[in-house]
Amino acid sequence: MLVILMPLGMAACTVHPEETAIPSLARLEPASGTYYGVHLDWEQDTAAAYNQRLGVPAAVYVAFFPFPFSETDKANVDAFIGQVAAEEGMALITLQPESGLDRVTAAVAYDFAGLMAEYNQSGVPVFVRFAHEMNGSWYSWGQQPTDYIRAFRTLAEAIHQRTALSAMLWAPNYGGGYPFAAGRYEASPQSSDFHLLDTNQDGHLDMSDDMYAPYYPGDDAVDWVGMSVYHWGSQYPWGENEIPEAGKFTTQITGAYIGLDSDHRPVPDFYQTYVEKHGKPMAIPETAALYNPDLGGDTELDIKQAWWWQVFSAEVAEDVPGIKMISWFEARKYESEVGTTLDWTVTSNPVLLQAYLDDLPRSRLLFATNLPDFSPAGNQK
């Protein structure tokens, strides 16, 4: 019997010479189960308060920060990590390069990776989601595949060299509606990147083009893949209170969704391509369902419960087992698409909270109380 010792962040396994070796796990990937995560309004809420409402400590905590960091940003990240450490959880840091992708230099990446190493040494594993939704047209880093890939790879190289318990997460926006016309940062046909985005070379961008592949930084740079999946309603314009269609969550990430307003099946099968073919674990860094208090229609409980029934269902766990993290968007936020502030939460309303607690399939989820062991002794925390 040959015992193989895996690097930090991977599971140790026993291999018999006559057997096929078990594929190694990605950084921070659990051998089984799905991390339960949450994105909070960090100005109004705390990890401890949320966990008290939930009755069990979340495994992953999501927060957004401008990048590169100013001194104020660095202090805010430190405070965020402090909360995560106190709950013995994992951090998912979303980096927003608002001042330009060219600001992500090798020196900036090296310093950032050193900071992540310090957080790792203090007991907090970190997922780094860099410039999320880069295929969208609403962020300043959007639809610039050449500069995006260069910046992602620069950061990934530093993270992989300087840390053992930090993982790079690549997370485009769901492709339905691509190229999201009229957004401020929509790619111009005159731009140098346009021909890369026009994957079918027909002279314009639409859902017949691959809206994921031109932005993929490469298997050596990407540890996890991910996609935020929300229920905004059943058809454009958004804002109506509508119960999500059966199977919507799964069909969107597998390229099989047919919406009431359009057929989204030209969208590639993200799960098959990046989880099954590229072999990456998948995260859902944000998910929730829209309820607009200014309009009638279906009730908040009916809409949100129908969505979490899908997201956390046994069918999803069986059909797309490569999803290893699901994080609920637990915040109120002004949404320009509907012109009002929406409450995406499920724990601030006692009726919703009780239903959520009753339905949450805790046996299939990983919380801070049952995380893998990533310590040197266990080769997983």
User: What is the average per-residue pLDDT within 21-28?
Assistant: 78
* pLDDT attached to residue 17: 37
Whole-number Cα distances in Å, 222 to 107, 145, 154, 225, 256: 20, 15, 12, 7, 25
User: What is the average per-residue pLDDT within 300-310?
Assistant: 98
Is 217 part of any domain? yes
* pLDDT attached to residue 124: 97
Provide the H-helix boundaries in 230-339: 248-253, 270, 300-311, 314-319
CATH number at residue 128: 3.20.20.80
* pLDDT attached to residue 141: 98
The pLDDT mean for the chain works out to: 91
pLDDT in tens, 247-287: 999 999 999 999 877 889 999 999 999 999 999 999 999 99
Whether 381 and 29 have beta carbons less than 8 Å apart is answered as no
pLDDT in tens, 46-104: 999 999 999 999 999 999 999 999 999 999 999 999 999 999 999 999 999 999 999 99
Amino acid 65 reads F
Paired with 90 in beta bridges are 60
Whether 82 and 119 have beta carbons less than 8 Å apart is answered as no
pTM beyond cutoff 0.85: yes
User: In sequence order, what DSSP letters do the residues of 7-52 get, joined into one string?
Assistant: PTTS--EEE-TTSPPPPPPPTT--SSSEEEEEEE-TTT--HHHHHH
121-143: burial string, b at 16+ Cβ within 10 Å, e else: eebbbbbbbbbbbbbbbebebbb
* pLDDT attached to residue 20: 40
DSSP state of 107: H
Is 259 part of any domain? yes
User: How many secondary structure helices (H) and strands (E) does the chain include?
Assistant: 10, 14
Residue 134: partners with Cβ closer than 8 Å, 6 or more residues away: 141, 142, 143, 144, 145, 148, 172, 215
Is 266 part of any domain? yes
% of the chain exceeding 90 in pLDDT:
84
Strands (E) across 152-263 are located at: 166-170, 224-226, 229-231
Is 93 part of any domain? yes
User: What is the average per-residue pLDDT within 24-41?
Assistant: 96
Q: How far apart are CA 290 and CA 367, in angstroms?
A: 25
Paired with 325 in beta bridges are 35, 283
Choose the weakest-confidence range: 48-52, 296-300, 336-340, 375-379: 375-379
Backbone angles phi, psi at 88, to 5 degrees: 55, 40
Residue 42 burial (CB count, 10 A) = 17
Is 268 part of any domain? yes
Pairing of β 332-335 and β 340-343: antiparallel
Strands (E) across the chain are located at: 2-4, 13-15, 34-40, 60-66, 90-96, 126-130, 166-170, 224-226, 229-231, 282-289, 323-330, 332-335, 340-343, 365-366
> Which residue segment(s) compose the domain that 252 sits in?
32-370
Is 27 part of any domain? no
Whether 163 and 116 have beta carbons less than 8 Å apart is answered as yes
Confidence of residue 376 (pLDDT cuts 50, 70, 90): low
Is 22 part of any domain? no
Q: How far apart are CA 21 and CA 15, in angstroms?
A: 6
Is 38 part of any domain? yes
Confidence of residue 23 (pLDDT cuts 50, 70, 90): low
Whole-number Cα distances in Å, 91 to 65, 152, 224, 346: 12, 19, 14, 21
pLDDT of residue 2 exceeding 70, the answer is no
Confidence of residue 336 (pLDDT cuts 50, 70, 90): confident
Q: How far apart are CA 264 and CA 234, in angstroms?
A: 13
Q: How far apart are CA 277 and CA 264, in angstroms?
A: 22
> What total number of domains does the chain contain?
1
pLDDT in tens, 184-239: 999 999 999 999 999 999 999 999 999 999 999 999 999 999 999 999 988 777 78
Residue 13 burial (CB count, 10 A) = 16
